[in-house]
Amino acid sequence: MTSLIEFLQSLGNAATFLIVVGVLVGVAILLPRLRRRLGIELHKEMMDGASDAYKAVASSMIFVLAFAVYQVQANYRTAELSVEKEADQLNLMDRALLRYGSTQAIALRSLGVDYGNLVVTKEWPLMQKLGRSDEVDAAFEKLTAAARTLTPENAAQQAQLGAFQRALDEIGDVREARLTMIDKSLPSLYWATIAGLLILLLVLVAFTNASWDKLLGHAGQICAVGLLLSLVVIVDGPFKGDTSVPPDSIVHALKVIQSRHVGN
């Protein structure tokens, strides 16, 4: 199931909608006609019962998918907040270094900018493949090592050093939290439930009346199911596919940092 979801996400949002909806609608129309072509005839009562059951299962599946959409959107929002927090801490770290005032602290600002740029240009593409950047690891270690060389000469510098160290620690923690969300997705139990309902739906539609009025009605219902299912697939995994969380907050923070002058 995971491989199929990742494949669909790699195709893009529009292709995912077209494939999922198209396949489900096509199967819902073809199965009853295929059954009739194979000479499998059913009593009207049985076909009507299958049609009623189909409608009930479709409604249940739409409810499950709606809840799944809520769940994946919550994961996406959590990831967004994590990225925003990471950007805020980069900004706070730079401001603390600027207020520290020493030549050595000012030089450290460029290391912070380099770290942020590596996160955006190197680590972000790797997160699509469930990876982390060794270059970012090295840049953070370099920044941490350089921070140990700062020796405050007065109380004001001591306060700013404390603010800098807190921001640096927070950056490391938030980054790790972001990386743990790379493979965050809908629990397998949800996917198993969705798959089970979908199979049941297709089995039931095969036993329904093959008349065009029934076919179109069932196709409309499964089209709604397909649209919601596509949305779940697209949004599942906050750092995957076309709708992945962008590094815009970090990019903006880097622009603010680079525009900030000594004395601000």
Exposure string over 117-128, b if 16+ CB within 10 A, otherwise e: bbbbeebbebbb
Spans in the chain with pLDDT lower than 50: 263
| Residue 252 · residue 87 · CB < 8 Å | yes
- Sign of the dihedral through C-alpha 94, 99, 105, 106: positive
| Residue 116 · residue 250 · CB < 8 Å | yes
Residue 261's pLDDT is 62
CA pair distance 219, 214, nearest whole angstrom: 8
Exposure string over 159-195, b if 16+ CB within 10 A, otherwise e: ebbebbbebbebbeebbeebbebbebbbeeebbebbe
Q: List the chain domain ranges.
A: 2-259
DSSP, residue by residue, 24-46: HHHHHHHHHHHHHHTT----HHH
Residue 184's pLDDT is 86
| Residue 31 · residue 206 · CB < 8 Å | yes
Residue 217's pLDDT is 86
Residue 48's pLDDT is 85
Residue 253's pLDDT is 94
> Given its phi and psi angles, is residue 101 left (phi above 0), alpha (psi -120 to 50 degrees) or beta?
left
Residue 223's pLDDT is 93
